[in-house]
Structure 1
Amino acid sequence: INHPLPQSELQIDSDLLSQATLELFTAICIIFALAFIPASFLVFLIDERVTTSKHLQFVSGVKGITYWCGNLLWDLANYCVSIACCMVIFLIFKIEAYIYKTNFLCLLLLLFLYGFSIIPLMYLINYFFTTPSTGFVLISCVNIFIGLITTISTFILETFDGQVDLTHINSILKKLFLIFPHYCLGRGLFDMSQTYAINTFSLKYVAGYVPISPLQNDIVVAGYVPISPLQNDIVGRNLISLFFQGIIFFALAILAQYRFFIPDRGCMRTPKNLKSTNEDDDVAAERKRIYLDPDNTSHDVLRMVDLVK
């Protein structure tokens, strides 16, 4: 019986590199596709702000936090439809790198948290545009550019194993780029597929090898010391970064709505003792009520203080 010769170390490295290149292309395609979905939410936000329909809602009594929470829940619901379509495609074509055991859960968390983080970021960006179509096109291009450049640059730098300086720069960039949801998604997809490839080859040729899970806390390899997930390129830190980015971006969107970052320029007020000679009694009573309630404990929707003609 003829048996094939075992692969040499050079052949295994070549196969891993080919597999990594293929999975990088898959990650790029996902980044490209998901760049348009968050940008599409800008269209309605910009249109509501420009046409003052958003202002009309606030005048009608809608609170700022209620407005943004409603938008976030609705946008996430629409985004989850896109996630479901992506998952179905992976299952139909049986892409093992993304549907194998814990990888499937990791993929689901990665896609959902990407939407959870980038949608509030779109809320912050909408103030910079007055034309919905311009905002959609420009932000779509920015999303694609950031996702591709950050992911590809770290992948290329990884190929220079013998260059100490480039390796150090790459480790710094991997931590610095975690502030971008686009990088967390692209790099997370690549690391997840790379982990699957390493498991596949190592189970064949390494005796006593324990498969690496992208979600496990410690990586245990026969003959090696367990590696901390904060030191190794696994998906856990990407998920954590996406989660905190979503909270921070949404909090900033709420603060921007209440003009927290815009200082009060002040205004000239009419003296309170100013009184018209022909002022009606009901007007005087209303003025007195407003003066006695400076904190608006009566919850008036609209207050005009010291308005004169």
Structure 2
Amino acid sequence: MKCSKTTNRLISVNHPLPLTSQQSTEIRFILSIFASLFLLIPYCYIPAAFCVFLVKERITKSKHLQLVSGVDMTAYWISSYIWDLFLWGILTILIMCIFIMYGNETAQVFVGSVEIFFCTAALTFGYGLSGLPFAYLFSRFFNNYSSAQISIMAIFFLTGFVAVNAYFILDSLENTKYLARRMRPLFLMWPPFNVGEGLIGLSRNFFEREVLRQTKSPFSWKVCGRSLAFLYGLSVPYFSLLLILECSNDGGSGGSFGRLLRWLRDFMSRLQLQLQGVKYDK
């Protein structure tokens, strides 16, 4: 402190102690949790963007023109799916490059080792593998591609960011743990929830490895294995359901299988009319 007859001045110098390695790890863990959650927000935009072209092809009758020209409905959807997966693969590579650009120190949770790097890449690609047919199913309800894109983004936001936050909040409270466990089977049917849970699993695994000294593979069932299994496994039923719905529509192809589905649909409609007492001409 310096004092004079005319002025009084107080000079304070602060030299805080550096963070310990454990404190630094804990801060990095908390930041990685937030990063995992907020990654789900841009992730919800990606599948919706792929549906724009499908809806546009349908409303402009481009899809109808292909079908009447002899293109099989199954071939149409398989080719669209493979092309979108090819683009998603490029997108996965770009996302992983961005993680690497942030550096091992900042993005250590997601690219800290070769095994973690491939686990993050597998989560991202698996999200597209099941997320694309999941989005295709919702695109069938829209006749405007702008509305389809916005609505599908909202659906992925609710089934991803909102669902993940809701589950972990409910699971952290003693009075609502039972509710979280009951809702979990439903949440696991949603690809956005699975990728969010997988990213949080990587963050938790980082904390256990650096602080608790517990070594687990990121591909183990309790870390990311379950999320990966659902992400890759759900692609088959979602895409199969899409083909069934498309082939059962009037104008759908699908060969004998498609004709059988359309006959079953008409049979159920006639049966419902009979039960209601409505007469119809055979």
Tell me the TM-score normalized by structure 2: 0.76
Alignment partners' CA distance in 1, 2:171 and 2:27: 14
- Count of residue pairs brought into register by the alignment: 236
Matches within 5 A, 1:267-286: none
Is residue 200 from structure 1 mapped to residue 213 from structure 2 by the alignment? no
Q: CA-to-partner distance for each residue in 1:17-76, whole Å, 9 max, x for gaps? A: 654432222112321112111101111111111111111101111111110010001111
Residue identity matched to 1:85: L
Q: 1:188 aligns with which of 198, 206, 209?
A: 198
1:128 pairs with 2:144: no
- Deviation of 1:77 (Å): 1.2
Select which of 247, 256, 259 maps to 1:258. Answer: 247
2:206 is the counterpart of 1:215: no
Please state whether the residue corresponding to 1:49 is helix, strand or coil.
Answer: helix
Looking at structure 2, the residues matched to 257 and 154 of structure 1 have their Cα atoms a distance apart, in angstroms, of: 33
Match of 2:108 among 96, 112, 136: 96
Q: Does 1:248 align with 2:237?
A: yes
Query: For the structure 1 residues 92 and 38, does the alpha-carbon distance in structure 2 shift closer, same or farther, using more than 3 Å as the test?
Result: same
Provide, for residues 190-240 of structure 1, a one-character-per-residue CA deviation record: whole Å limited to 9, x for no partner: 11111012101123xxxxx5x111213xxxxxxxxxxxx3xxx42111111
CA distance in 1, matches of 2:72, 2:38: 39
Distance 1:109 1:100 in 2: 15
Quickly say closer, same or farther: Cα 1:249–1:56, change in 2 above 3 A: same
* Deviation for aligned residue 1:158: 4.2
- Equivalent of 2:85 in 70, 76, 81: 76
Contact persistence 2:25–2:210 (CA under 8 A):
no
User: Displacement, 1:16?
Assistant: 7.2
CA RMSD of aligned residues (A): 2.5
Instruction: Look up the match of 2:256.
Output: none
Contact kept, 8 Å, 1:23 with 1:194, in 2: the verdict is: no
Deviates more, 1:109-118 or 1:252-261: 252-261
Deviation string for 1:239-262 (max 9, x for gaps)?
111112111110011111111377
Preserved CA contact (<8 Å) 1:16 1:198: no
Q: How far apart are the structure 1 equivalents of 2:203 and 2:74?
A: 39
- Residue 104 of structure 1 aligns with an amino acid whose one-letter code is F
In structure 2, relative to structure 1, the CA distance for the partners of 1:105 and 1:182 (3 Å cut) is: same
Letter in 1 for 2:184: K
CA distance in 2, matches of 1:72, 1:78: 10
**Contact 2:29–2:206 (Cα < 8 Å) also in 1:** no
Unaligned runs of 5+ in 1: 204-208, 217-228, 270-309
2:276 matched residue in structure 1: none
| Distance (Å, rounded) in 2 between the aligned partners of 1:151 and 1:214 | 19
Whole-angstrom CA distance in 2 between matches of 1:16 and 1:255:
50
Q: Does 1:175 align with 2:185?
A: yes
Secondary structure, counterpart of 1:214 in structure 2: coil
Matched, 1:25 2:34: yes
Match of 2:164 in 1: 151
Q: Is the 8 A contact 2:38 2:161 kept in 1?
A: no
Distance 2:149 2:71 in 1: 26
Do the aligned residues in 2 keep the contact of 1:113 with 1:242 (CA within 8 Å)? yes
Identity of aligned pairs, percent? 27
Between the aligned partners of 1:177 and 1:107, the Cα distance in structure 2 is: 20
Q: Measure the CA separation in 2 of the matches of 1:46 and 1:158.
A: 38
- Please give the alpha-carbon distance, in whole angstroms, between the structure 2 residues aligned to 1:251 and 1:191: 29
Q: Which position in structure 1 is the counterpart of 2:273?
A: none
Matched to 1:237, the amino acid is R
In the alignment, what sits opposite 2:152?
A: 139
Report the structure number with the largest CA radius of gyration: 1
Does 1:67 find its partner at 2:76? yes
Greater mean alpha carbon deviation, residues 94-103 or residues 130-139: 94-103
Does the Cα contact within 8 Å between 2:159 and 2:187 map onto a contact in 1?
A: no
Are residues 91 and 112 of structure 1, via their aligned partners in 2, closer, same or farther at CA, if it must alter by over 3 Å? same
- Provide the rounded CA distance (Å) in 1 between the counterparts of 2:27 and 2:155: 29
**Shift in CA distance, 21/113, structure 1 to aligned 2, threshold 3 Å:** same
Q: Give secondary structure in 1 for the equivalent of 2:57.
A: helix
Change in Cα spacing, 1:68 to 1:45, as seen in structure 2 (3 Å) is: same
Instruction: Say which structure is richer in helix.
Output: 2
